Homo-oligomer: A and B are copies of this chain.
C-alpha cells in the first residue's frame, strides 16, 4: 500500500518515521507493507529528516496512479477541501488529521467519499482512538453526553494556574516557551480548536449537523487565579470543556470553561493531556485519556487509519449505515441551557449591597447554592469580591441578571460567570 503525505510538518515527519521504524510490526498487523513513497511540501529548502522523497508539485502527486492512500496534514479549510474532494472523486482513500476541515465540510466529504475509505481518527484528541470508540466500541448506546478536555494548551494553562498559582498571562507565556502554545494562542485558548473536535464527535454521537458558528464557544482568557482557588474551596476544578449532551429531543453543543466536581475522572486530567468522558444508556460512564496532540501521538492515529484501510476494515464514516430515521436532532438554543453557575462579582463594601444582589437574582429566578466573601484586605480600595454558585438555572435568566448587575452603581467590574458541570 503506497502512501503520499501531503504536508510534512511535525505530524507528517512522524508518520513517515514510524511507518519505517515499525514496519515489520505494521506489516504483520495490517497484512500489507504500508510504504510512504512521497511527501508534498511548500518549501523544498527547509531541511527535513524524513527518509522519503519530497516534492512541491502537488498536482503531479495527485495525478500519480501508483498512490493508494493520500494522508492530508496541511491544515486549513478551503485548499485541503478542494484537494481531498479531487482525490475522493478518483476513488483513492484519504486519511486526514484536519479538524477545521471536518468542522466545516464533513458531510460534503461524506457524500463525495461514498464507499471510498476516509479516515479521520487523528482529527480529535490525537492519540486517543475516540472516533473508533464512539463509532464502533459504544455503537449499542444512546449517548447521553460526551464531555471532554480536548485542548491540551488550555488544559496546560489551567493546570499551571491551579498547581503553580500562576496568572493566566504568566501560564500562557510559560506554555509558549515550552512550545505548548502558539504565538497567537486564540485558536486554542479561545475554545475554537475544541469546538471543531466537538462538532466531529457530535456527528457520531447524534448525527447532528452544525458548524462552529452555530454553537456556544467561550475561552479561558478571563479566568483568574481567584476563580481557581475559590472553585477549589467549593470542591471544583476549572477545566475548558467541550460538551455534547442530549436534552429531550435536542442536542446541546457548547465549549466553555466549567467547574467540574473534583472527584470526577475528568477533573483529574492535568497538563497537556486530553480526557473525554462518554456516558451511554447501556455502558454507563466511561473515560478515555491520553496525549491529545504532538507529532508522534497524532501519527499513531493516522497510521491506525492506514492499517484499517489495509485490513479492509471499514465502518460508516460517522457510524450510520442508514441515515437516522428520527428527525435529525436539533441544536438546543443557547439561551435554553440549564445548568448551575458560578459568579465572581466585585462590589462596594456597603450595607445593603448583598440584599440588593439577592433581590435582583430572585426576581430573575436565580437562587444561591453557596456563597463566599473574602475578608477585605488593607489597601484593597476596589471593593470586595463575592463568589457564589447558583442552583440549576436557565442561561437566559443568568444573562439577564448579568446585564442588570452590570448597570448597578455598586458593581465595580462586569460580573464574571462560569458554568458548572456536575
Is B280 in contact with A285, judged by CB distance below 8 angstroms?
no
Tell me if A296 and B283 are in contact (CB < 8 A): yes
Contact with B along A281-300 (1 / 0, CB 8 A): 11111111111001011011
Is B22's CB under 8 angstroms from A282's CB?
A: yes
In the bound complex, do residue B285 and residue A291 qualify as a contact, i.e. CB atoms below 8 Å apart?
yes
Q: Is A313 an interface residue (CB 8 A)?
A: yes
Residues of B near A300 (CB, < 8 A) are 138, 140-141, 280, 282-283
| Complex CA–CA separation, A303 to B299 (angstroms) | 30
Q: Which residues of B contact A129 (CB under 8 A)?
A: 132-133, 136-138
- Given the interface pairs A133-B133, A140-B307, the reply to whether A320 lies near B29 with Cβ below 8 Å is yes
**Cβ-defined contact, B326 with A24, below 8 A:** yes
Contact status of A133 and B136, CB under 8 A, knowing A142-B22, A297-B282, A324-B28: no
The residue among A32, A129, A294, A314 with the most chain B CB atoms within 10 A of its own CB is A129
Number of A residues with CB within 8 Å of any CB on chain B: 64
Q: Is A303's CB under 8 angstroms from B137's CB?
A: no
- Known contacts A29-B320, A142-B22, A289-B286, A136 near B304 by CB under 8 Å: yes
Interface of A is mostly: mixed
Given contacts A127-B283, A291-B285, A299-B140, contact A28 B325 (CB under 8 A): yes
A9 on the B face (CB < 8 A): no
Instruction: Show 27 residue pairs from A and B whose CB-CB distance is below 8 angstroms, ordered by the A residue.
Output: A24-B326, A25-B142, A27-B322, A28-B323, A28-B325, A29-B316, A29-B319, A30-B139, A30-B321, A31-B321, A31-B322, A121-B137, A127-B280, A132-B132, A132-B137, A136-B304, A136-B307, A139-B304, A140-B307, A265-B268, A282-B297, A282-B300, A282-B303, A283-B297, A284-B290, A286-B289, A286-B290
